[in-house]
Amino acid sequence: MKFDTPAGKNPIDRLKVVGKATDRVDGPLKTTGGAHYAYERHDAVKNPAYGYIVGAGIAKGRIASIDLAAARAAPGVRAIVTADNAGKLGKGQFNTAKLLGGPDIDHYHQAVALVVADTFEQARSAAGLVRIDYARAPGRFDLAKARNGAPPPAENAFSGKSDTAVGDFAGAFASAPVRIDESYTTPDQSHSMMEPHASIAEWDGDSLTLYTSNQMIAWSKGDVAKTLGIPPEKVRLVSPYIGGGFGGKLFVRADAILAALGAKAAGRPVKVALQRPLIANNTTHRPATIQRIRLGAGHDGKLVAIGHEGWSGDLPDGGPETAVNQTRLLYAGANRMTATRLAVLDLPEGNAMRAPGEAPGLMALEIAMDEMAEKLGIDPVKFRILNDTQVDPEKPERKFSQRQLVECLKLGADKFGWDKRVAQPGSVRDGRWLVGMGVAAGIRNNLLMKSAARVRLDGRGRLTVETDMTDIGTGTYTILAQTAAETMGVPLEAVTVTLGDSAFPASAGSGGQWGANNSTSGVYAACMKLRGMVAQSLGLNAEAIDFVDGRVRSGGRAIALGDAAKSGDLIAEDHIEYGDLDKRYQQSTFAAHFVEAAVDSATGEIRVRRMLAVCAAGRILNPKAARSQVIGAMTMGVGAALMEELAVDKRFGFFVNHDLAGYEVPVHADIPHQDVIFLDEEDPISSPMKAKGVGELGLCGVGAAVANAVYNATGVRVRDYPITLDKHLDRLPHMV
């Protein structure tokens, strides 16, 4: 199905199933242990051996020698894989560093060996007997030192242009009556998902089946084949359930490749789960940023100059954290510039983490907007509304398909009680607590990707949906079932959804908040094709029939849907493919985040008291699942604002706090009452579903809303995330 004109009225608009708050159809399996995750595929793989990865003990240099004798002689050991015996390996399209290091080392904890044994304990014990001597080389581990002279990154589809300019930014900024020029920093962060990267590999001759925890099946199937040097048709990836990814499982990682190599070497299936320290240093992470923001405005509060520069670092051939990109779209202003610079660092690979670009970028921009509002003496909500735009500021002829940011801000301010906020920082006390409110805007673009599905109708009137789409805890099983049920006019219970298998049609996959809109559109396309097949089977005019309550209605006739498949299952396969609507219209989602925070006037401890997100994100397919996505993102935003930071050892080039004891994330006690409001919105420019996405929008702006609330509470501005008590304790107002 080609989607190149705005969606008109279609079967989804009936909203009998789609748009309803629906329990997850996979919920019973997950709550009873019936959902099989990658490391637990005992139903499919018998008697696997266990692999344990040895990570490099240096960040840069070479392996001088490796002694495997003691490890090979250890009880239960079946094989040891290193670069010396693994054979020639390629590098996947989506990998920056090699997944098996040696003799050259690219980063700390790069996999350098896999020990395979009969039990996990034997593999772990033997791995401790591997003796490696390294020749350490000097490395670059400090972004602040590397920023000067850092070049622009290469342009690609995800990062876009490294430099943009409209009008005369320098002149407009210099002549603006009111200006701010500040720098902000965000730290390296880890995905820290509950389920580690894990895989089980099994060979059948020269064909590989890989049960793995991965968000993007089609991408990763290609990268597994490329890395191992085998044809893609010899690779099958299976990933029906994923225990969190947040972007860290968009790409193939060492667990998958080494499980495959270990299984080949041992002659039996092998399972590998990355130990927790390797998740921080071996896999990808969100890179640290340094951001400079310059804003110029007239006394009327209108922005006349907007400048945003961002620096981040990555391994050679890596990519930047695109923290400046949302600034190109969020506010009006005739004179503007952005610049992205990428330093070469020898830290572990930086890459996508939930809301890459917008999450750290808005943590800076939305503080800067508050700082400018205060200088102008304008309420922060009113200041944002005053600088709204309904067109792309860089291309005024290009309108937003939908843009209800002002509505989000107004409704949020009303529901949150913003009128009770005291503008003077440090003015509100509750006993020993200093109390403040903060606001921030959020934006995340709607990305369109081709997505396919197969739908099968049997003689009982039941539907089976097959697609390689993944469910990373977002509720994909449910929204795909809702889509098929709505389109074919059957109850939700009549639909079975099977996901995460590369043998199925290739979907958009899960990431970038593009998964829901595109994958449901792919299922819709297949169902519409199936409707035509049903009409033909029943001898009816496809243009004059309706599908309701498990029956096909035409004129005065009502035929059971299953009758169309009495002679055999009807199988329809199709995909959604987009035209140029995303070029003609800017497609984005918007949010307004409100936070109330309290700061202990004696200790500097920060407690978030309440939070509200108001989101405009097209049609909400399942409000219950969407709310869960947003409150989860809001929780992640609290972590980014107040505690999450990978501490870099700048001498030896690794993340020191590489476990959940040292890398702090929010727990239940940290999270207060959360409210989420979705505006009633449909976006016919987006897709036949008229939906967009919310999974990352719920994070965009949250960190700044927390920071702005802390400032309103204390009068102390912290521009260096996370906002820990040591950064403001000595500047807090005196206790009375």
Yes or no: say if 174 and 225 are a contact pair by the CB < 8 Å rule.
no
Based on the residue annotation, tell me whether 195 is a catalytic residue of this protein: no
How far is it between the farthest Cα atoms of the chain? Answer: 84
Task: Please say whether the dihedral angle defined by the alpha carbons of residues 701, 702, 708 and 711, taken in this order, is positive or negative.
Answer: negative
CA 466/CA 472 separation, integer angstroms: 17
Q: Which of 331, 323, 268 is nearest to 302 (CA)?
A: 331
Identify whether 28 is preceded by a cis peptide bond (ω within 30 of 0).
no
DSSP letter for each residue of 300-351 = TS-EEEEEEEEEEEESTT-----TTGGGGTSS--SEEEEEEEEEE--SSPB-
CA 73/CA 54 separation, integer angstroms: 17
Write out the H or E segment, with its range, that includes residue 207.
Answer: strand 207-212
CA 703/CA 186 separation, integer angstroms: 10
Torsion of CA 527, 529, 532, 537, to 10 degrees: -80
**Helices and strands (H, E) in the chain, number of each type:** 16, 32
Residue 714 CB coordination number (10 Å): 24
Identify whether 684 is preceded by a cis peptide bond (ω within 30 of 0).
no
Question: Radius of gyration (Cα) for the chain, nearest Å?
Answer: 27
Q: Which of 568, 469, 573, 455 is nearest to 517 (CA)?
A: 469
Which of 349, 374, 596, 696 does the annotation list as catalytic?
A: 696
403: which 2 tokens?
Answer: 């843009």
For residue 613, give Cα distances in angstroms to 274, 635, 698. 35, 12, 7
DSSP letter for each residue of 407-430 = HHHHHHHHHHTGGG--SSTT--EE
Write out the H or E segment, with its range, that includes residue 406.
Answer: helix 405-416
Q: Which of 441, 414, 447, 408 is nearest to 331 (CA)?
A: 441
For residue 210, give Cα distances in angstroms to 35, 116, 236, 734. 17, 17, 6, 61
CA 537/CA 535 separation, integer angstroms: 5
CA 598/CA 428 separation, integer angstroms: 10
Q: Which of 712, 697, 678 is nearest to 596 (CA)?
A: 712
Q: Which of 263, 253, 208 is nearest to 51 (CA)?
A: 263
Catalytic residue ranges: 696
